[in-house]
Amino acid sequence: MQTEVKGKAAFAVVAAVQLPGVSDIEFEASLAELRDLSKTLGYKVVRTFTQKRTAFDTSAYLGLGKRVEIRDFINGSEVPDSSIGTIDRVFVDHEISPSQARNLENDVGCDVMDRTMVIFSIFHRNARSRAAKAQVEIARLGYMAPRLREMAKLAGPQGRQRSGTGGRGAGESHTELDKRRIRDRIAELQQEIAAMDVERKTQRSRRQERQGLASVALVGYTNAGKSTLMRALTGSEVLVENKLFATLDTTVRTLYPESVPHVLVSDTVGFIKNLPHGLVASFKSTLEEALDASLLLHVIDASDPGFERQLEVTDKVLAEISAETVPRIRVFNKVDQVGDAVIQTEFEIMLRAQYPDCIVMSARRIDDVATLHKAIVAFFRKDLIEAELFLPWSAQKLRGEIFSSCEVLEERADIEGAFLRVRGTRGVLEKYTGL
């Protein structure tokens, strides 16, 4: 059910039920997103099938008529365009049960994948670090475990009660055995992650203690431009891709040009509507970087027609990880794609009226990036305090460090050393006032 497509073009169709209470706009936006997700997985979506129903069909998600219509399309009887090859897959825009998937597969005659599985597959493919790989696996196993019983039933009596396989206690069914294995594997992975977390936490606190750094995290919907902004703000080479969920690991860099105080910038995993719950939980440790930040930059793709809905999703996920109290600046990105200069200005006025203190920008414009840089520095500057430091001549090697971590307002010297009136963070100043 989960073969991956690499290299060769694969064709797919998208299908969805529109339930009462779901507006046309919302429904269309969700379908467009599922098509993007399918594209990210390497499929070309050639047709979208939709159906209004009061509820999902309990046996096969879509009604019989729609299933027949899709089967006919897949069989080629209704394909007008001969350039379309074989349809390999039907993507459905909801989470469905294994039996619904199986019945739908039988009726339409090709593989079916639901929205949750699509997201899992993308995360699985994009996970690079050991931590991200383990997190995706935990989430996927968590999704599979409760479904095992149903899958075993579908596999028939053999799948349910095959005897003689190693390690199984007397009377233990195949499903129970699999469940136990999954539980063990999840526990093992969680231990691995916990060990990595400890390492990451010590690294993080060491980093902050050592330098008394302020930190900001880039958060937001997938593809909003977080990594692009990270690059622009820190002069680093992080991965930027026009794909969903390009980033799964948190990267941390220093704001550049350097400021007083020094600011750490971290890039985080993107959010999406109906992000499978297991993924939110699994990526919590990655997202904790956002929780620890003193400031969140909530990046929004302003050129996406569904940006308001995406903004709400991000707010909701942030609330889920208890990050709603962290101060935040909303950054409406990609305005260069909104329309001509006049439309862009009108759009900006509208956004400013609705979201006071927001930043409207394009990551492609140097001046806009500089404005964002200024806003970040200004946020941290209000916490700076002034102090007078005495630096004996014998401690002059600290001079460079003080000049780079504090703003030096005045300097006087006498026989014993230099008096510096400086402005800096409490943490940094505490370090020097003991001199």
- CB 121 to ligand GTP: min, Å: 15
244 forms part of the interface with ligand GTP (CB under 6 A): yes
Exposed, middle or buried, 413 (CB in 10 Å: 0-12/13-18/19+)? exposed
For Mg ion, the closer of residues 73 and 123 by Cβ is: 123
246 forms part of the interface with Mg ion (CB under 5 A): yes
Write the CB contacts of 389 (distance below 8 Å, at least 6 apart in sequence). Answer: 402, 419, 420, 421, 422, 429, 432, 433, 435
| Residue of 224, 296, 311, 420 interacting with ligand GTP (CB under 6 A) | 224
247 forms part of the interface with Mg ion (CB under 5 A): yes
For ligand GTP, the closer of residues 228 and 405 by Cβ is: 228
240 forms part of the interface with ligand GTP (CB under 6 A): yes
To the question of whether residue 222 is assigned a binding role by annotation, the answer is: yes
Contact predicate 90/106, CB 8 Å: no
Give the gyration radius of the chain's Cα atoms: 27
To the question of whether residue 334 is assigned a binding role by annotation, the answer is: yes
Fill in the per-residue mask, 330 to 369: x = in contact with ligand GTP (CB under 6 A), - = not in contact.
---xx-xx------------------------xxx-----
| Residue of 116, 135, 222, 250 interacting with ligand GTP (CB under 6 A) | 222
Q: Which stretch binds ligand GTP (CB under 6 A): 82-90, 197-205, 282-290, 328-336?
A: 328-336
For ligand GTP, the closer of residues 78 and 241 by Cβ is: 241
| Residue of 135, 175, 215, 228 interacting with ligand GTP (CB under 6 A) | 228
For ligand GTP, the closer of residues 57 and 348 by Cβ is: 348
To the question of whether residue 17 is assigned a binding role by annotation, the answer is: no
Contact predicate 91/118, CB 8 Å: yes
247 forms part of the interface with ligand GTP (CB under 6 A): yes
Write the CB contacts of 405 (distance below 8 Å, at least 6 apart in sequence). Answer: 211, 212, 260, 261, 262, 424, 428
- CB 432 to Mg ion: min, Å: 37
Contact predicate 104/67, CB 8 Å: yes
Residue closest to ligand GTP when measured from CB atoms? 270
* Residue 250, contacted partner among Mg ion, ligand GTP, none, CB below 5-8 A by kind: none
Counting Cα atoms < 13 Å in the Cβ hemisphere of 230 gives 30
* Residue 222, contacted partner among Mg ion, ligand GTP, none, CB below 5-8 A by kind: ligand GTP
d(CA 43, CA 37): 9
To the question of whether residue 223 is assigned a binding role by annotation, the answer is: yes
d(CA 298, CA 313): 12
Give residue 172's identity as a one-letter amino acid code. E
d(CA 344, CA 366): 17
Write the CB contacts of 130 (distance below 8 Å, at least 6 apart in sequence). Answer: 192, 196
* Residue 224, contacted partner among Mg ion, ligand GTP, none, CB below 5-8 A by kind: ligand GTP
Other CB atoms within a 10 A radius of the CB of residue 372 amount to: 21
Helices of type H across 41-147: 64-74, 98-108, 115-126, 130-144
* Residue 336, contacted partner among Mg ion, ligand GTP, none, CB below 5-8 A by kind: ligand GTP
Which residues of this protein are in contact with ligand GTP, per CB under 6 A?
222-228, 240-242, 244-247, 270, 333-334, 336-337, 362-364
Interface contacts to Mg ion, rule CB under 5 A: 226-227, 246-247
Residues contributing to the annotated binding site: 220-227, 245-249, 267-270, 333-336, 362-364
